[in-house]
A and B are shown apart, each in its own frame.
Chain A
Amino acid sequence: MSVLLQLAFTFGMLSILAVGGGTAVLPEMQTLLAERFNIDHTAFVHIYSIGQLAPGPNMTMVLVFGFQLAGLLGAGVVLLAFFIPSSVLCLSMGRLWQRIGERPWRRAVQNALEPISIGLMCSGVYAVAKAAVVGPLTITLAVATFAVILLTRVNPVFMILGAGGLGALLMYFFGIH
C-alpha cells in the first residue's frame, strides 16, 4: 500500500513539474527512482529505451516502473499519477485561455519555459548517457545514431534497433565493449 502511495506521489509531482514535455523530468525521475525505489541507473535506461521503441508518446514507459514495483496495479497507479495532474491543469488552463484570448504574458511564459526545458533536456541527455554510454562501442553507437538521425530522414526507430542489434552482436559474440 505504501509503495502505491509513494508511486502516486512521486509520479504525480513529476507530472506537474514536466515543463516542456516529459523529457524534461528524466533526470529527476532517474534520481527519485534510485533514491526511493532502488531502481538502478542501468535498469532505468533499459526501460527508457523500451519506451523509445514504442509507438506514441514514449513516456508511457513510466508504467513499466510501476509494474516492476507493484505489479499491474502499480502500473495503473503510475499511469494515472503521471498523466492526470498535468492533463487537468492543461485542460483547465486551455479553456481559460480560449475564453480570455491570447495575452502577452502567455507568450512570455512560453518563452521563459523553452530554454529551461532545453536545459533540462540537456540534463536528461547527460543522465541517460552516463548510464548508457560506458565504453568505446556504446560511444560509437550513440554518436553514429545521433549523426544519422540529424543528417538523414531515416526513422529513428530503425537506428535504435540497428544499434541494439549490432551492439548485441559485437558484445555477445565478439566480446567487444
Chain B
Amino acid sequence: MPLAMNDANVTATPISNDTATTMTTPSDAHSSKDPVVVRPTLWQIFFEFLLIGAVSFGGGIVAYERILLIEKRQWLSADSFMATLAISQTMPGLNSVNLALLAGDQLRGTMGALAAALGLMLPGGAFVLVVGIAYSAGGQHPFINVLLAGIAAGATGLLASVTYTIGKRHFVQIKSLFMIVATFVLMSMFKLSLVWVLIVMVPIGLYLYRPGQQP
C-alpha cells in the first residue's frame, strides 16, 4: 500500500478541512490537545463493526455506521463523518465497506481499516457461504427452487425500492434524468460492457457537473 505510512504527513501538511483537524494520529495521540477523541483499540474497532455486520439485516448499513461513529462511540465528529461518507461514495466499491475502511484508517491506520472492514463483512460472509453451500448441494430440489423464486421476486422489489429511494431526487432533474436514461440505454439496451458505459458517460457527467455548474 503506497500511502500506508503517511500519518505523520497528515499533521505536517497545512489542512483546510475539518476532517483532518479532528483526526487522531500517532503524532498527536500523546499530546493532550485533543481530549475528545480517545483512540480505540483494534479489537474495539473490529468488535463494533462486527456487531453492525451481524445485526444490519435488510440494508441501511451506513445509518448503523453513522450511529456508531458519531453517537455511540463518538469516534468521528459529524463534520468529519460527512466528509468521510462523501469520499466513500465517490470511490468505487461498496459505500458501507469504504466508510468502514476510512473510519478505521482515521482511528488506527491501515490495521484499523482492516479491522473495521473485516468485522463488517465477516457475519454476512459466513451467512452467505453456509447458505450458498447448502444451495449448491440441494438447489435442484423443487421446493428450494420455488422458495428461491419467491425470495428472488421479493428481492427484485427491494432492489427497485432502494433504487427509487436513492434516485427520486434525480429522476425529476433534467440533467440527472438524461444521465440516468443514457446510462440505462447504453447498459441494458445497447448491451455495452460496463467499461465502455463508463468511458462514455463519465466525461459527459464531469462536463455537465463541472465545478461552477448547478448540480
Chain A positions within 8 Å of B, measured between CB atoms, are: 13-23, 25, 27-28, 31, 43, 45-61, 63-64, 67-68, 75, 79, 83, 86-102, 104-116, 118-129, 131-134, 137-139, 141-147, 149-150, 155-168, 171-172
How many angstroms between the C-alpha atoms of A86 and B94 in the bound complex?
A: 8
How many angstroms between the C-alpha atoms of A133 and B154 in the bound complex?
A: 10
B148 contacts which chain A residues (CB < 8 A)?
Answer: 46, 49-50, 164
A-B contacts, 5 of them at CB < 8 A, read: A50-B131, A60-B121, A64-B128, A143-B157, A164-B147
Which 6 residue pairs across A and B have the least CB separation, nearest first?
A167-B150, A119-B183, A145-B157, A86-B93, A163-B154, A112-B205
Q: Is the CB of B158 within 8 A of A160?
A: yes
- Report which of A19, A53, A67, A91 forms a contact with B92, defined as CB distance below 8 A: A19
A142 contacts which chain B residues (CB < 8 A)?
Answer: 153-154, 156-157, 160
The reply on B162 being an interface residue by CB < 8 A is yes
How many angstroms between the C-alpha atoms of A48 and B148 in the bound complex?
A: 10
Q: Is the CB of B179 within 8 A of A119?
A: yes
B136 contacts which chain A residues (CB < 8 A)?
Answer: 64, 67-68
The reply on B61 being an interface residue by CB < 8 A is yes
B156 contacts which chain A residues (CB < 8 A)?
Answer: 125, 128-129, 132-133, 142, 145
A124 contacts which chain B residues (CB < 8 A)?
Answer: 159, 163
Q: Is the CB of B211 within 8 A of A115?
A: no
| Given A57-B97, A122-B184, A114 contacting B176 (CB threshold 8 A) | yes
Mask, B34-66, CB within 8 Å of A = 1, is: 000000000000000000111111110100000
- Report which of A15, A98, A163 forms a contact with B19, defined as CB distance below 8 A: A98
- Report which of B139, B188, B194, B208 forms a contact with A46, defined as CB distance below 8 A: B139
Q: How far is the CB of B213 from chain A (nearest CB, A)?
A: 8
| Given A118-B166, A163-B151, A52 contacting B158 (CB threshold 8 A) | yes
The residue on B at minimum CB distance from A88 is B1
A61 contacts which chain B residues (CB < 8 A)?
Answer: 128, 132
How many angstroms between the C-alpha atoms of A161 and B150 in the bound complex?
A: 8
Q: Is the CB of B127 within 8 A of A119?
A: no
How many angstroms between the C-alpha atoms of A66 and B140 in the bound complex?
A: 19
Q: Is the CB of B158 within 8 A of A145?
A: yes
Q: How far is the CB of A78 from chain B (nearest CB, A)?
A: 11
Contact residue range for chain B? 35 or more
How many angstroms between the C-alpha atoms of A98 and B94 in the bound complex?
A: 20
| Given A53-B151, A98-B23, A105-B211, A16 contacting B92 (CB threshold 8 A) | yes
* Residues 116 to 141 of chain B near chain A (Cβ within 8 Å): 117, 120-125, 127-129, 131-133, 135-136, 139
The residue on B at minimum CB distance from A148 is B157
Q: Is the CB of A91 within 8 A of B1?
A: yes
| Given A107-B211, A123-B187, A161-B151, A94 contacting B129 (CB threshold 8 A) | no
Q: Is the CB of A51 within 8 A of B179?
A: no
Which of A87, A102, A145 has the largest count of B CB atoms less than 10 A from its CB? A87
How many angstroms between the C-alpha atoms of A19 and B147 in the bound complex?
A: 32
| Given A16-B92, A50-B131, A56 contacting B124 (CB threshold 8 A) | yes
B17 contacts which chain A residues (CB < 8 A)?
Answer: 98, 101-102
B95 contacts which chain A residues (CB < 8 A)?
Answer: 20-21
